[in-house]
Amino acid sequence: MVSLAADMVYEGMRSMAGPFLGSLGASALTVGLVTGAGEAIALMLRLVTGPWADRSHRHWRLTVVGYGMTAVCVPLLAITPFIGGAGLAVAVTLILLERTGKAVRSPAKSALLARMAKPTGTGRGFAVHKALDQVGGFSGPLLLAGITALTGVLWPGFAVLAVPGALSLLILALLRRRAPGLTETDPEDQPQAVRTPFVAAAFGRGLPRAFHLLSASAALATAGLMTFGVISYRFVDAGMMSLAAVPLAYALGMAAAAIAALATGDAFDRWGLARS
Q: pLDDT digit of tens for each residue in the chain (276 aa)?
A: 888 999 899 888 988 999 999 999 999 999 999 998 998 898 888 888 888 888 888 888 898 999 999 999 999 999 999 998 899 999 999 999 999 999 998 888 888 887 777 777 667 777 788 778 878 888 888 899 899 989 988 899 999 999 999 999 999 888 877 764 444 455 444 444 345 565 666 666 778 888 889 888 888 888 878 888 888 899 888 889 888 888 888 888 878 877 887 777 777 777 766 554
Please give the Cα distance from 259 to 7 (Å, whole number).
16
Q: What amino acid is encoded at 175 in this protein?
A: L
Q: What amino acid is encoded at 46 in this protein?
A: R
Please give the Cα distance from 178 to 171 (Å, whole number).
10
Q: Is the Cβ–Cβ distance between 248 and 42 less than 8 Å?
A: no
